[in-house]
Structure 1
Amino acid sequence: MNNPIQFISDHKEQLLQTYQELHALAEPSWEEKKTSRYLQDKLSAAGLQIKTYPDHYGFIAEIPGEKESVIALRADMDALVQEVDGVVKANHSCGHDGHSTMALYAALALQNSKATLQHTIRFIFQPAEEKAEGALQMMKEGVLENVLFLGGVHVRPHTEVPYGKSAPVILHGSSATLTGVITGTPAHAARPEEGNNPIEAASLLIQALKQIRLQGNKKYSIKMTELHGGETSNSIPESARFTLDVRAEANETMVALLAKAQYIIESTAKLTETNIACEQIGYSPAATENSVAVRMAQHAIGSVLGRENVAGPCISQGAEDFHFYTWKTPHIPATMIGLGCDLKPGLHHPQMTFNTDALVYGTKILIELVMKADQELEENIL
Structure 2
Amino acid sequence: MINETIKKAIKENSEEMVNIRQKLHSEPELSWEEYKTSQFVYDYLQELGIESRKTEPTGVIGELVGGKAGKIVALRADMDALSVEELNEDLPYKSAEKGKMHACGHDAHTAMLLAAAKALVEVKEELPGTVRFIFQPAEEVATGAKAMVEQGAVEGADNVFGIHIWSQSPTHSVSCTPGPSFASADIFKVNFKGRGGHGAMPQACIDAAVIASSFVMNLQSIVSRTIDPAQPAVITVGKMIVGTRFNVIAENAEIEGTVRCFDPAVRDHIEKQLQVYADHTASIYGGTAELEYIRGTQAVINGSESAELVQQVAIEAFGENRLYEEKPTMGGEDFSFYLDEVPGSFALVGSGNPEKDTEWAHHHGRFNVDEEALETGAELYAQYAWAYLTK
Q: TM-score, normalised by structure 2?
A: 0.90
Question: Which residue identity is paired with 1:82?
Answer: V
Q: Give 1:121's aligned residue.
A: 131
Question: Which deviations, in whole Å up to 9, do the C-alpha atoms of 1:133-191 show, x marking residues without a partner?
Answer: 10111111121111111000001123xx3223211247112221111211111111222
Shift of the alpha carbon at 1:59? 1.5
Shift of the alpha carbon at 1:18? 1.1
- Identity percentage over the alignment? 28
Whole-angstrom distance in 1 between the partners of 2:285 and 2:365: 41
Question: More deviation in 301-310 or 30-39?
Answer: 301-310
Question: Which residue identity is paired with 2:63?
Answer: E
Question: Which deviations, in whole Å up to 9, do the C-alpha atoms of 1:90-111 show, x marking residues without a partner?
Answer: 1001000000111111111111
Shift of the alpha carbon at 1:21? 0.8
Shift of the alpha carbon at 1:210? 1.9
Gaps of 5+ in 2: 90-96, 353-357
Does residue 345 of structure 1 match 2:355?
no
Whole-angstrom distance in 1 between the partners of 2:264 and 2:323: 27
- After TM superposition, the structure 1 = structure 2 runs for residues 1-382 of structure 1, keeping only pairs within 5 Å, are 3-53=5-55, 55-65=56-66, 66-67=68-69, 69-85=71-87, 89-158=99-168, 161-169=169-177, 171-212=181-222, 213=225, 214-281=227-294, 283-326=296-339, 328-329=340-341, 332-342=342-352, 343-376=358-391
Cα distance 1:272–1:23, how it changes in 2: closer, same or farther (>3 A)? same
In the alignment, is the contact (CA less than 8 A) between 2:181 and 2:301 conserved in 1?
Answer: yes
Question: Which residue identity is paired with 1:62?
Answer: E
In the alignment, is the contact (CA less than 8 A) between 1:168 and 1:301 conserved in 2?
Answer: no
Runs of 4+ in 1 over 6 A off after TM superposition: none
Alignment: residue pair count: 370
Whole-angstrom distance in 1 between the partners of 2:135 and 2:265: 30
SS in 1 for 2:302: coil
In the alignment, is the contact (CA less than 8 A) between 1:300 and 1:372 conserved in 2?
Answer: yes
SS in 2 for 1:71: strand
Shift of the alpha carbon at 1:258? 1.9
Shift of the alpha carbon at 1:223? 2.8
Q: TM-score, normalised by structure 1?
A: 0.92
Question: Which deviations, in whole Å up to 9, do the C-alpha atoms of 1:175-218 show, x marking residues without a partner?
Answer: 21111211111111222121111111101211220222212402
Shift of the alpha carbon at 1:253? 2.4
Question: Which deviations, in whole Å up to 9, do the C-alpha atoms of 1:199-258 show, x marking residues without a partner?
Answer: 111012112202222124022121322111111112112211111222224343222222
Question: Which deviations, in whole Å up to 9, do the C-alpha atoms of 1:236-288 show, x marking residues without a partner?
Answer: 12211111222224343222222221221122232222221121245222221
Cα distance 1:195–1:354, how it changes in 2: closer, same or farther (>3 A)? same
Question: Which deviations, in whole Å up to 9, do the C-alpha atoms of 1:343-375 show, x marking residues without a partner?
Answer: 411111111122101101211111110001111
Question: Which residue identity is paired with 2:75?
Answer: L
**Aligned-residue CA RMSD in angstroms?**
1.9
